């Protein structure tokens, strides 16, 4: 792998910046100053440093983000702040969010550059469960729980897949936990809108085996642990509890 590609993929800098650093003599490989950005390096065995700081190569990266409201789930946006803007800079250029959360929705979002994992988690064939906490304007009843279990039309002529609905608090404003296996547009909001109810607050708690870290502040992120990454890669669907 070329040295400039190695460093740019790790988000250290642009290729233009890397070439300048090499000319200045601030980049070393195995303790030797390297002045040619096109120098070949082995990511697995060579020790690459910039200004004396070791740069460890990772082919794939996985971040857990506790998405805040007011931020769009996108790689770039000309007008809005994106979820990638919440990650450190400089950062690698091939990161993307897995799926999407609405601008006003909070909670768990996985950000990675692992395309096959993304496809597996989002594929309708795998029925990966996504669980949300929601605050609803309207009284949620056991009859609604049964409707969620059976599936119903949310306005497009197609029944929803069986979903889980747990009532945490019932009243003029109800609090519930919702588990779905689809990713239809505004799905949770549309499910309650079908009963004339409005979602006041929505937060994703889990996606497949990945659970939102309760210690992760809104707007904060951390790298996924090796155990979390392993669980995600091994996950090929869930046994539904509804």
Q: What is the DSSP string of 170-221?
A: -SSEEEEEEEES---TTHHHHHHHTTT-EEEEEEEEEETTEE--TTS-TT-E
| Residue 240 pLDDT class (50, 70, 90 cuts) | low
Q: Specify whether the CB–CB gap between 37 and 15 falls below 8 A.
A: yes
User: Are 210 and 64 a contacting pair, CB within 8 Å?
Assistant: yes
pLDDT at 40 > cutoff 60 = yes
Which residue's entry shows tokens 């400039």? 4
pLDDT at 104 over 60: yes
- Between 96 and 242, whose confidence is greater? 96
Smallest CA-to-CA distance from 136 within 187, 203, 200 is with 200
Task: Answer whether residue 238 shows pLDDT above 80.
Answer: no
Give the residues across from 206 on adjacent strands: 131, 211
pLDDT band at 52 (very low <50, low <70, confident <90, very high): very high
Long-range contacts of 210-214 (CB under 8 A, 24+ apart): 210/64, 210/108, 210/110, 211/108, 212/64, 212/66, 212/107, 212/108, 213/64, 213/66
The sign one gets for the Cα dihedral 183, 184, 186, 188 is negative
Rounded distance between C-alpha atoms, residue 62 and residue 109, angstroms? 10
Give the active site residue among 46, 77, 85, 102: 102
Q: Is the pLDDT of residue 9 over 90?
A: no
Mean pLDDT confidence for 53-78: 94
pTM for this predicted structure:
0.85
Distance, in Å, from the CA atom of 134 to the CA atom of 168, rounded to the nearest integer, reads 10
Angle, CA 193 vertex, CA 189 and CA 194 arms, to 5°: 125
Mean pLDDT across the stretch 41-63? 93
DSSP H/E element including 227: helix 226-234
Residue bearing tokens 């056991």: 142
CB 189 within 8 A of CB 202: yes
- 102 catalytically annotated: yes
- Phi then psi for residue 226, to 5 deg, are -55, -35
For range 2-18, the mean pLDDT: 91
Q: Answer whether residue 241 shows pLDDT above 70.
A: no
Kindly report which listed range (82-86, 88-92, 185-189) carries the lowest average pLDDT score. 88-92
Distance of alpha carbon 203 from alpha carbon 105, whole angstroms: 6
pLDDT digits 0-9 by tens, 158-210? 999 999 999 999 999 999 999 999 989 999 999 999 999 999 999 999 999 99
């Amino acid at each position: 792998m070329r040295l400039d590609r190695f460093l740019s993929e790790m988000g250290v800098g642009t290729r233009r910046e890397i070439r300048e650093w090499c000319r200045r003599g601030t980049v070393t490989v195995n303790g030797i100053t390297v002045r040619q950005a096109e120098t070949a390096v082995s990511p697995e065995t060579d020790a690459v440093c910039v200004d004396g700081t070791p740069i460890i190569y990772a082919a794939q990266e996985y971040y857990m983000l506790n998405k805040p409201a007011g931020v769009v789930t996108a790689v770039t946006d000309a007008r809005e702040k994106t979820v990638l803007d919440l990650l450190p800079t400089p950062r690698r250029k091939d990161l993307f969010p897995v799926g999407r959360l609405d601008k006003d929705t909070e909670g768990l979002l996985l950000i990675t550059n692992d395309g096959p994992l993304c496809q597996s988690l989002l594929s309708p064939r795998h029925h990966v469960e996504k669980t949300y906490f929601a605050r609803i304007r309207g009284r949620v009843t056991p009859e609604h729980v049964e409707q969620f279990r059976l599936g119903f039309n949310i306005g497009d002529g197609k029944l929803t897949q069986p979903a889980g609905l747990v009532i945490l608090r019932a009243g003029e404003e109800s609090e519930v936990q919702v588990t779905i296996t689809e990713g239809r547009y505004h799905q949770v909001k549309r499910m309650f809108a079908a009963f004339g109810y409005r979602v006041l607050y929505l937060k994703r708690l889990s996606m497949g085996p990945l659970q939102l870290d309760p210690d992760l502040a809104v707007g904060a992120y951390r790298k996924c642990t090796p155990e979390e990454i392993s669980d995600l890669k091994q996950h090929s669907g869930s046994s539904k509890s509804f």
